[in-house]
Amino acid sequence: MTLSKSFIYEINTWVWLNDLSRRYQRPVQLGDVPEEVLDELARLNVDFIWFMGIWQRSPAARASALNYTHEYRHVLPDLTDDDVIGSAYAIGAYEVDYHLGGREGLAALRRRLADRGLKLILDFVPNHVATDHHWVTQRPDCMIRGSRGILMKHPGLFFETHSPDGKPLVIGHGRDPYFPAWIDTAQLNALSPEYRQVACETLLDIATQCDGVRCDMAMLMMNEIFSKTWGTFLAGTVPQTEFWEEVIPVIKAQYGEFLFIAEVYWDMEYELIRQGFDLTYDKVLYDRILESHAGKVREHLLAALDFQIRQVRFIENHDESRIAATAGIERSRAAATLICTLPGVVLLHDGQLMARKVKLPMQIKRQPNEPLNHALSTFYYRLLAETHASVYRHGTWQMLDLSPLHEGVNTHNNLLAYSWRSGDDLRLVVVNVTPNWSQAVIQPGDWPAMTGGIWSLYDVLRGAYHIYDGDKLVTEGLTVEMEPFQSCIFRFERLDETSHLWGDRARKSGSE
């Protein structure tokens, strides 16, 4: 599919509908979300809404989760058993949960989102299902299977159930090779021809209901990784084709614009793009931003542009801690400016824009009341309005060189600077990713001819104008002084004699 700068907004569906039900003092489901709420989503200037956790929850996963209520109470002190719904990633069935409004409710919501120019993303969990998913007993050839002897030797890795005719089945629990098995899940067999067929059938049905899927832990399905994870428990030979190389083309053949997004780690991003994914998570950038290390971020951004535009940039999602809690408000502003103005797709998380700090367990449907930061929300709305501009979607992006303002003072290494240009439409982005006051001289890159004129640099995030002499910009560069974690987006405009800013020549050197 054709990729351009896009924004995805992730919503924890159960929690969101629960909040709306309290807000409107009536039960709210997918099919009857109030118009003003959808208008609020549209005003974010995003492209996709990811309704996370929409599939049917598992009774067995809920029963398992009820054993861990003591772990949820630090998040929700007034937790009740009714708040516990089981993990969103121990799927009971690929049917829209009836508590949320079912398939018809989702279809109605999708139509209303489309009327507002918003597309819909849902989950696909390729590695595992809930222990009571019907595939476990009715299609056991889709699963990792064991024996009574294996169960005795590995009781935490396998469990026993029964086929419809009462025969015992020993099935593996879903797992990641670096962590204990998830006891509320059953492991699907990525190497099984039957499961690959079932995955195609499931995804074809999902593709009738949305515009793309976020595929959980997508790298676990790669032949090499899966074989190492399950080792001697596997039967048969490893297929010559990869799981995703077999599955994705089947869906793309019928739904060519359907979006495949891979949650991926362990430096497997390029390989999953090669196997057919449109987009992959950029966890490396997330980690380097939290390190506050401009040099490592800059090094990461030297990757080829055709790779960068397929990266999903984020500073928060349901798997990670809330950015306001881990980094603080000011640092989160700089990080947000960075991900929203770099090439690639942006993932934003519901609550991120209001500085929520509590990371919710996936097993509960209600979130605590928290003080919300409306000033941060205003910042995000301004940022998202700016990055909706055509120049970020169709312009040319360029990293810029920085040099020290004074010899021996190397704080310029704390800054990142880059530009977007489409014709004469130019943006300059400067971000201080460190807690240190810093200064630098930015060398012009592929900017329009500036000599012989006066230029206004409008600071989008602060609403301030700066006036510069074009000749000096070309010969001397642009001097910037940045406070800790400060970020700026400058919009360039050549002034003429009719401009109300023309007479303000006192600042043309760049000083306030």
Structural domain for 425, as ranges: 395-507
260 and 321 belong to one structural domain: yes
**Position 510 pLDDT exceeds 70:** no
Does residue 218 lie within any of the structural domains? yes
Distance CA 361, CA 381 (A): 27
Q: 326 vs 148, 281, 352, CA distance in Å?
A: 45, 20, 12
Dump pLDDT digits (tens) for 37-50: 999 999 999 999 99
Q: 90 vs 103, 214, 365, CA distance in Å?
A: 19, 15, 15
169 and 298 belong to one structural domain: yes
Where among 392, 409, 443 does a domain terminate? 392
The count of domains in the chain is 2
Dump pLDDT digits (tens) for 452-503: 889 999 999 999 999 999 888 888 899 999 999 999 999 999 887 555 554 5
Residue 254, class by beta-carbon neighbours within 10 Å (0-12 exposed, 13-18 middle, 19+ buried)? exposed
Q: How confident is the model at residue 507 (pLDDT cuts 50, 70, 90)?
A: very low
455 and 316 belong to one structural domain: no
**Position 1 pLDDT exceeds 70:** no
265 and 405 belong to one structural domain: no
Q: Give me the pLDDT at residue 505, please.
A: 46
Dump pLDDT digits (tens) for 281-298: 999 999 999 999 999 999
DSSP assignment of 275-326 equals TT-SEEE-HHHHHHHHTT-HHHHHHHTTS-HHHHTTEEE-S--TTSPPHHHH
For Cα atoms 201, 206, 212, give the angle at the middle one, nearest 5 degrees. Answer: 120
Q: Give me the pLDDT at residue 512, please.
A: 39
Q: Give me the pLDDT at residue 500, please.
A: 54
Q: Give me the pLDDT at residue 499, please.
A: 54
Phi/psi at 170 (5° precision): -110, 120
Q: Give me the pLDDT at residue 497, please.
A: 57
Q: Is residue 210 within 8 Å of 110, Cβ to Cβ? A: yes
Mean pLDDT of 356-363: 97
Mean pLDDT of 207-229: 97
Q: Give me the pLDDT at residue 417, please.
A: 96
Distance CA 183, CA 169 (A): 16
Q: Which of 287, 385, 371 is nearest to 324 (CA)?
A: 371
- The answer to which of 100-104, 202-206, 229-233, 479-483 has the lowest mean pLDDT is 229-233
Q: How confident is the model at residue 403 (pLDDT cuts 50, 70, 90)?
A: very high
195 and 181 belong to one structural domain: yes
Question: For the domain that residue 429 is a member of, what is the CATH number?
Answer: 2.60.40.1180
Q: Give me the pLDDT at residue 3, please.
A: 59
Q: Is residue 35 helix, strand or coil? A: helix
Does residue 128 lie within any of the structural domains? yes
384 and 479 belong to one structural domain: no
Q: Give me the pLDDT at residue 503, please.
A: 53
Q: Is residue 85 within 8 Å of 363, Cβ to Cβ? A: yes
365 and 286 belong to one structural domain: yes
Mean pLDDT of 318-328: 96
Where among 392, 419, 438 does a domain terminate? 392
Count other C-beta atoms under 10 Å from residue 210's C-beta.
24
Does residue 2 lie within any of the structural domains? no
Does residue 484 lie within any of the structural domains? yes
Residue 165, class by beta-carbon neighbours within 10 Å (0-12 exposed, 13-18 middle, 19+ buried)? exposed
487 and 369 belong to one structural domain: no
**Position 259 pLDDT exceeds 90:** yes
Mean pLDDT of 268-286: 97
Mean pLDDT of 115-128: 98
Does residue 1 lie within any of the structural domains? no
Where among 344, 375, 392 does a domain terminate? 392
455 and 502 belong to one structural domain: yes
18 and 141 belong to one structural domain: yes
Dump pLDDT digits (tens) for 42-92: 999 999 999 999 999 999 999 999 999 999 999 999 999 999 999 999 999
Q: How confident is the model at residue 448 (pLDDT cuts 50, 70, 90)?
A: confident
**Position 155 pLDDT exceeds 60:** yes
Does residue 465 lie within any of the structural domains? yes
Mean pLDDT of 25-42: 98
Residues 6+ apart with CB under 8 A from 397: 305, 342, 343, 418, 419, 420
Q: What is the pTM of this model?
A: 0.94
Question: For the domain that residue 134 is a member of, what is the CATH number?
Answer: 3.20.20.80
**Position 314 pLDDT exceeds 90:** yes
Say if strands 48-52 and 119-124 run parallel, antiparallel, or are unpaired. Answer: parallel
Dihedral sign from CA coordinates of 140, 209, 109, 52: positive
260 and 358 belong to one structural domain: yes
Does residue 411 lie within any of the structural domains? yes
- For residue 503 the two structure tokens come to 């007479």
Does residue 512 lie within any of the structural domains? no
Count other C-beta atoms under 10 Å from residue 363's C-beta.
24
Instruction: Walk across the sheet containing 478-482 and list its strands.
Output: 402-403, 438-442, 478-482
- The answer to which of 1-15, 26-40, 184-198 has the lowest mean pLDDT is 1-15
406 and 341 belong to one structural domain: no
